[in-house]
Amino acid sequence: MPEAPFPPAVNEAVRALLARASVPPRQLHDPAPDAAALSLAVAAATRAPDHGGLRPWRFVGIQGEARAAFGELLARAMQARAPETPEARLDLERLKPLRSPLVVAAGATIRAHPKIPAWEQEATAAAGIMNFLNALDAMGFGCCWLSSAALQDPAIKGALGFAETDRLLGWIYVGTPEAGRPRPERPAPDGFWRDWQPA
Ligand SMILES: Cc1cc2nc3c(=O)[nH]c(=O)nc-3n(C[C@H](O)[C@H](O)[C@H](O)COP(=O)(O)O)c2cc1C
């Protein structure tokens, strides 16, 4: 395992991977990536390993005025799941998509397949989401991958065009970071690797 500082042989692509960091949604502002940048990020997603070529990656962008309408949908779905939810909590849910200029609902279409179980298709989609984040981060945008109970809500999945059998894997908040990229402390790689030896 190379120790930081990394040897000169570490190229730009690896440097970009090592510098990536999430940016909190409220620190993300206009401009959001344009169609060309998003297309590159989706293309990066489709480079994820994909057993059987099932292509499970799905990204649904919610931006501009659609964010407020989606927030309303999130609040109504939350109320339907838990009718006693206080109005203040519903308001929080309603305002969530407005924190960043772009929210991406990232999911996986899951097909019944004799050899490729759902978890492999989810792994491919999740690997694609990571490529999507890395590509946007490398282009100077900021991202944050969040979850919430709404990911499991059939009403939300349906409104976004996902089937009941599909999986919504996250809300990706995207924009331009107000103060560059955070530089959180990262763990040393050594603790995550060991060589196996025969007994
Ligand atoms: C599937 C998934 C769901 C996540 N959901 C949340 C979440 O709901 N809230 C949260 O604070 N972080 C969540 N995270 C973690 C953040 O995306 C992020 O990784 C974390 O803030 C640490 O920042 P870093 O990516 O720079 O290490 C989630 C990550 C993944 C992969």
Residue nearest ligand 1's atom 22 by CA: 22
Q: Kindly report whether the global pTM for this prediction surpasses the value 0.85.
A: yes
Q: Which residues contact 162 (CB under 8 A, 6 or more apart)?
A: 58, 105, 107, 109, 168
CA of 169 to the centre of ligand 1 (A): 12
Q: 58 - beta bridge partners?
A: 107
Residue 155 lies in a domain: yes
Structure tokens at 19: 């510098």
Residue 36 lies in a domain: yes
Residue 137 lies in a domain: yes
> Which of 104, 132, 146 is the pocket-test mutation for ligand 1 (most atoms within 8 Å of CB)?
146
Other C-beta atoms lying within 10 Å of the C-beta of residue 78:
21
The predicted structure's pLDDT at residue 198: 97
Q: How many domains does the chain have?
A: 1
Domain of residue 41: give its range.
22-64+100-178
The CATH number that applies at residue 53 is 3.40.109.10
CA of 23 to the centre of ligand 1 (A): 10
Residue 89 lies in a domain: no
Residue 74 lies in a domain: no
Per-residue pLDDT tens for 17-73?
Answer: 999 999 999 999 999 999 999 999 999 999 999 999 999 999 999 999 999 999 999
